[in-house]
Structure 1
Amino acid sequence: MKRQIQMTKEEMLTLLKGDVIPALGCTEPVCVALCAANAGKVLGEMPEQIEIRVNAGIYKNGMSAGIPNCKEVGLPYAAALGAVLKNPEKGLELLEDVTNDTLKQAFELIEKNQVHVKVAKEEKSIFVCCEMTSGKETSNCEIRGAHTNVVYLAKNGRSILEQAVNGSTGGENPLVEKLCQMRISDMRDLVDTVTEEELHFLLDGVEMNEKLAKYSETEKAGVGIADAFRSEEKGTGEISGKALLGNDLMARIITKVASAAESRLDGCPLPTMSSSGAGTKGLVAILPVSETAMAVGASPEQEVRALALSHLVNRYINAKIGKLSPMCTCVMAASTAAAAGMAYLFGGTNEQIGYAVRNMTGTVTGMLCDGGKVGCSMKVATGSTAALMSAITAVYDAPLRASDGICGNTPEECISNMALIGKKGMADTDTVILEIMEAKS
């Protein structure tokens, strides 16, 4: 007997509209900037001291990530910019307001050693706390559970905002709780009930992330990874990068995903359409699916449904694994979600879409997250390659055996095993990575 779907169509649309939103810059430094912007607005004047505490995942992902409209990288600069901007109403796009004057004021705070960032090692989930002082005036802001989830604001010790943190599986959003009770097949059945018009807003993400992928064609970005992939000039050898890679579906996906990620994580001033609270996850969940839709001649309705499935699976896996895991969730979650979306476009059955998840589980599980940086473009290109291979083999009924390693009989079992590896099997991984990163700084 078929299990009843746990989420209504209206609830799914509400979840997607709240989850698939524009973001400017790597989400972790933006989160720190947002926290500082809240505290700065409450303080109402230029701070003399800024103290930031973050969980290990925020610290790791923000250490080397580029900041939009700023030549520097790292969390102290993000905090200083937020403190100067005082524009928390802009959410994840607050750094688009950076000007030369803003930069000058922020750099002065850094140069005078007025900004300090520490790791709160006891915090295991998303956590940013900012305390500012100016004379006898103080302000505080705390973000928990999600990158925009402000749970505490105070001035001079007097609470302005205080709300409880939902510590359940899905985080702060009760709709994610419903999603976590569903099977991947339920999600597919649900997206099949939604019309093209109702999901048309998802195409905004395709347009936005396609524009981001083209940025490095005319502007210098990162270390030249995307340039190497699409170069028509000969390298050290006698053949160009484009000739070596070709121009088939896989090559186009690799180049677009790598280009978009490299530009974004180098501080590109263009926004990304995010998914599950992260811009890079958004471009990984969107671009391989939209490129595949074009390749197979999918109808607009098929494309938006595949995109919806990709976003839902991405959110589901992130909720199970945790948003800031020792594993690269841009690959573990977003690339696996893209594999499900591509299998859908290839005409896969519910069972075959599950096979795509199983094949990803047995292929890329365990890829480390060592922070947000331009090198992530190589990781997500690798994940997208695996996603296409997993989707193709799935629809040709060539799944990895359920008895193989950490694979399971169902996609839900596979994801649970994936999460167990990240939470239990790699419990000390972040500690070691942080030791290496802190030694550098």
Structure 2
Amino acid sequence: MPTNDEFQVYREALAAELQPAMGCTEPIALAYAAAEVGKRLGGYPEAIDVEVSRNIVKNVKSVIVPNTGGLSGIEAAVAAGLVCRRPEARLQVLADVSDTERAEIRERAELPMTVRQSHEPDVFFIKVTGSLGGKTAAVTIRTYHTNITRIEENGVTVLSKDDVCADAQADGEAWSIPELIKAARVMPLMEAETLLNRQIDCNSAIAAEGLKDNWGATIGKILLARKPEDPATQARAWAAAGSDARMNGCELPVIIVSGSGNQGITASVPVLIFARALKIDRETTLRAVLLSDLVTIALKQGIGKLSAYCGAVSAGCGSGAGIGFLEGLTDKEILGVIRNALAITSGILCDGAKSSCAAKISMAVEGALLALDMVKNHQTFKAGDGIVQSTTDSTARAVGRIASRGMVSTDREIIEIPRGNPRLQTREESRPSFLSSV
């Protein structure tokens, strides 16, 4: 029997990754940095400078910031954090906003602030600087959403922690996916159980909300109308509905994976739907979600938190592995599901956070279910079929290389394409911005 120490790295990863967040995590990271600035200044700044990487722009421009009365964009996220000034809440920094604060956010978001492109090498980079009454404060976040690496007050560094670029690369150290499957079967659930239960409860709740009201493009509702009693349709619909709500300002929390609420939903909700349909016991259900989370994290290790590669693909692969686990597939068969799914859906682009993320989640789950059906019919893609390699691990590394290196120029092109939201275009054109030169 394996010892607990063998699984310590997984337990630590789950504790770090399965965090609650309200709202899309990139604007919330901006609000978090701004909240720290506002708290240190003791009020709303007279002057504000925001420096961000291209990927932050892509994932903030079109998504609604919760508790702002429907506002979207960088200015709204920063203004919300500066008004609320509760950085101790981290990615739930906008969870408890009063009516007075909400009204102030709407007013402040229309005031001028400087927004400019970062020249740092990080894919994920945020720096918010404010000044008030002769005092200045600046907060830098790198690599992932809560990673404050530098705080400055009046030009003096008061906190510095690994303030260098540390984005993941495809050739970096990665977990062995076969070992993850073994861990999911035998790893003690003591510490993970609370995290997994919270993930199931929170993400199921926002999915139910997405199906209840008309959030976004209502992808979940549209899907569910096809075959409301079919577990495969339910899996796609419920996962999509969670994103419908989340991308459009729903004020319910989500448990994230790999820095993403959409990935947290995709990794958990489809597995839960199948567990209920198959009448699976609670422990096996938890182990299936555990496997899905671990596979999602592993596939993202070579990609990094942000990329032009849609993160729902990784989480869809995870959910396919988790559903295969529920259905009693062998380790080898589960590996085949993951490899098949990577071959099917790895072409989905990330063009930022917005309503269509729900549709991409649906397609990622569908790809995983097709991959699962292939395996159950004794079919797997072979090495040499496009990006497919001889093992699941080497296929994952190939995808990581494509996403972290090959798609850098894709990101630039995506950001240069004009946004289709007339309100956002008008708003951005009305004030100086670096976006046209990104």
AA in 2 matched with 1:187? L
Structure 1 residue 52: deviation in Å?
1.0
| Counterpart pick for 2:352 among 368, 371, 374 | 371
Instruction: Specify the SS of the correspondent of 2:94.
Output: helix
For 2:77 and 2:21, locate their aligned partners in 1 and report how far apart those are by CA, in whole Å: 15
AA in 2 matched with 1:398? Q
| Counterpart pick for 2:316 among 324, 327, 335 | 335
Render the CA deviation track for 1:297-344: whole Å, top value 9, x for unaligned.
22222111111111111111111111101111122x111111121222
Instruction: Specify the SS of the correspondent of 1:128.
Output: strand
Structure 1 residue 263: deviation in Å?
0.3
TM-score, length basis structure 2: 0.90
Query: Is 1:223 the equivalent of 2:217?
Result: yes
Given that 1:357 and 1:414 are in contact with CA atoms closer than 8 Å, whether structure 2 keeps it comes out as no
| 1:218-367 paired onto structure 2 within 5 Å | 218-230=212-224, 242=225, 244-331=226-313, 333-367=314-348
Structure 1 residue 123: deviation in Å?
3.2
Compared CA separation, residues 317 and 27, structure 1 to 2 (3 A): same
Corresponding residue number in structure 2 for 1:118: 116
Compared CA separation, residues 181 and 26, structure 1 to 2 (3 A): closer
Structure 1 residue 226: deviation in Å?
2.6
Structure 1 residue 99: deviation in Å?
2.1
Render the CA deviation track for 1:224-263: whole Å, top value 9, x for unaligned.
3233334xxxxxxxxxxx2x33421111011101111010
AA in 1 matched with 2:88? E
Compared CA separation, residues 6 and 394, structure 1 to 2 (3 A): farther
For 1:385 and 1:392, locate their aligned partners in 2 and report how far apart those are by CA, in whole Å: 10
For 1:153 and 1:438, locate their aligned partners in 2 and report how far apart those are by CA, in whole Å: 33
For 1:72 and 1:59, locate their aligned partners in 2 and report how far apart those are by CA, in whole Å: 15
For 1:89 and 1:260, locate their aligned partners in 2 and report how far apart those are by CA, in whole Å: 26
Query: Is 1:108 the equivalent of 2:107?
Result: yes
Query: Is 1:194 the equivalent of 2:187?
Result: yes
Render the CA deviation track for 1:136-182: whole Å, top value 9, x for unaligned.
211100001110000011111122211114755769xxxxx8xx443
Structure 1 residue 130: deviation in Å?
0.5
For 2:26 and 2:295, locate their aligned partners in 1 and report how far apart those are by CA, in whole Å: 22
Render the CA deviation track for 1:274-296: whole Å, top value 9, x for unaligned.
11211111000101111122222
For 1:46 and 1:427, locate their aligned partners in 2 and report how far apart those are by CA, in whole Å: 36
For 1:196 and 1:5, locate their aligned partners in 2 and report how far apart those are by CA, in whole Å: 13
| Counterpart pick for 2:7 among 6, 9, 12 | 9
TM-score, length basis structure 1: 0.89
For 2:292 and 2:164, locate their aligned partners in 1 and report how far apart those are by CA, in whole Å: 25
For 2:54 and 2:337, locate their aligned partners in 1 and report how far apart those are by CA, in whole Å: 32
311-320 or 293-302, which deviates more? 293-302
85-94 or 191-200, which deviates more? 191-200
Query: Is 1:131 the equivalent of 2:112?
Result: no
Compared CA separation, residues 121 and 387, structure 1 to 2 (3 A): farther
Corresponding residue number in structure 1 for 2:431: none
AA in 2 matched with 1:193? V
For 1:23 and 1:43, locate their aligned partners in 2 and report how far apart those are by CA, in whole Å: 25
| 1:395-434 paired onto structure 2 within 5 Å | 395-434=376-415
Compared CA separation, residues 38 and 157, structure 1 to 2 (3 A): same
Instruction: Specify the SS of the correspondent of 1:45.
Output: coil
For 1:392 and 1:152, locate their aligned partners in 2 and report how far apart those are by CA, in whole Å: 49
102-111 or 87-96, which deviates more? 102-111
For 2:40 and 2:75, locate their aligned partners in 1 and report how far apart those are by CA, in whole Å: 19
Give the unaligned 5+ runs of structure 1.
172-176, 231-241
Given that 1:5 and 1:190 are in contact with CA atoms closer than 8 Å, whether structure 2 keeps it comes out as no
Given that 2:339 and 2:388 are in contact with CA atoms closer than 8 Å, whether structure 1 keeps it comes out as yes
Given that 1:27 and 1:279 are in contact with CA atoms closer than 8 Å, whether structure 2 keeps it comes out as yes
For 1:289 and 1:227, locate their aligned partners in 2 and report how far apart those are by CA, in whole Å: 19
Given that 2:202 and 2:254 are in contact with CA atoms closer than 8 Å, whether structure 1 keeps it comes out as yes
Given that 2:335 and 2:392 are in contact with CA atoms closer than 8 Å, whether structure 1 keeps it comes out as yes
Corresponding residue number in structure 2 for 1:233: none
AA in 2 matched with 1:110? A
For 2:331 and 2:160, locate their aligned partners in 1 and report how far apart those are by CA, in whole Å: 43
AA in 2 matched with 1:400? F
Given that 1:347 and 1:395 are in contact with CA atoms closer than 8 Å, whether structure 2 keeps it comes out as no
| 1:153-168 paired onto structure 2 within 5 Å | 153-165=151-163
Compared CA separation, residues 402 and 255, structure 1 to 2 (3 A): same
Structure 1 residue 383: deviation in Å?
0.5
CA RMSD for the aligned pairs?
2.2
